[in-house]
Amino acid sequence: MSDKPIKVVFSGMQPTSGVTLGNYLGAMRNFVKLQHEAQCFFCVVDLHALTIPQDPVQLRKNTLDMARLYVAAGIDPNVATIFVQSHVSAHAEMGWLMEVSCYYGELQRMTQFKEKAARAEVVTTGLFTYPALMAADILLYDTTHVPVGDDQKQHLELARDIAVRLNHRFGREVVVVPEPYIPPREAGGRIMSLQNPTQKMSKSDPDESATIHMLDTPDAIRKKIRRAVTDSENEVRYDPEKKPGISNLMVILSLCTGMSLDEIAGRYT
């Protein structure tokens, strides 16, 4: 990340019923502090959700739930801007301008498209051009910084490439070239699957017990934690390589309570 001052932040989340604990701890929790340090736009990106078939009634419900989750996570709508992507037509309009400003080969190289296309029964054009619309979302607001995870870094690089290309084409800065915002890593960083702790926790995991969803009931969360993969040793210590399951649970507890990893190890060993 560069030393460019953080002035404008844009982040979007798709309206799914599966927003996870990892999404909250890795992203949304950081937004609460960030909203007081910059002009922040937090978007429910419902147009992106249309890359796969959607039930209109369920999509509307998920969209409203996602907006509520932003507020429930601590984002103040009087401080930051929370909005629905499809309610601002400029996103679709800017999306077309981005499509004609990037190249087939650039989109073809997107690893996330390759992975999703390999799993999908039907591959839509929208799934292929998804990164162009994402670039539009970002560049539309003169965004200086974008919170990104590992799976979105390539998409942000494309947005940066398009921004540089447009500025060069017109001989002046017509769009701001955004920088990645990488929050300080705490207690090990990523939240991993409860059933396969060497992989990132994912809302698309077919094993429902592997993922804690933000809208899970307390009883459901307790059951998932109790069934989480650990190991056969009695010692509780943070060692992601040799004890990935225990280490993952320690990270979750640390981030949720503020206890250090050493405190957790001492308490439960």
Among all residues, which ones are annotated catalytic?
A: 116, 200, 203
Query: How many Cα atoms within 13 Å fall on the side-chain side of residue 192?
Result: 22
- 200 three-state secondary structure: strand
Q: Which residues of 128-141 are buried (b: 16+ CB within 10 A; e: fewer)?
A: bbbbbbbbbbbbbb
| 163, two tokens | 């921004």
3-class state of residue 208 by DSSP: helix
3-state helix, strand, coil in the chain (%, to 5): 50, 10, 40
**Which amino acid makes up residue 257?**
T
Structure tokens at 51: 């890359």
Q: How far is CA 107 from the centre of its chain?
A: 20
Q: Alpha-carbon distance 196 to 188, whole Å?
A: 17
Strands (E), 45-186: 81-84, 145-147, 179-181
Sign of the CA dihedral with 197 first, then 198, 201, and 203 last: negative
Q: Which amino acid is at 126?
A: G
Please tell me what DSSP assigns to residue 150.
G
Q: Assign 218 to helix, strand or coil.
A: helix
Cα 161 from chain centroid (whole Å): 21
Q: What's the CA gap between 193 and 206, in Å, rounded?
A: 11
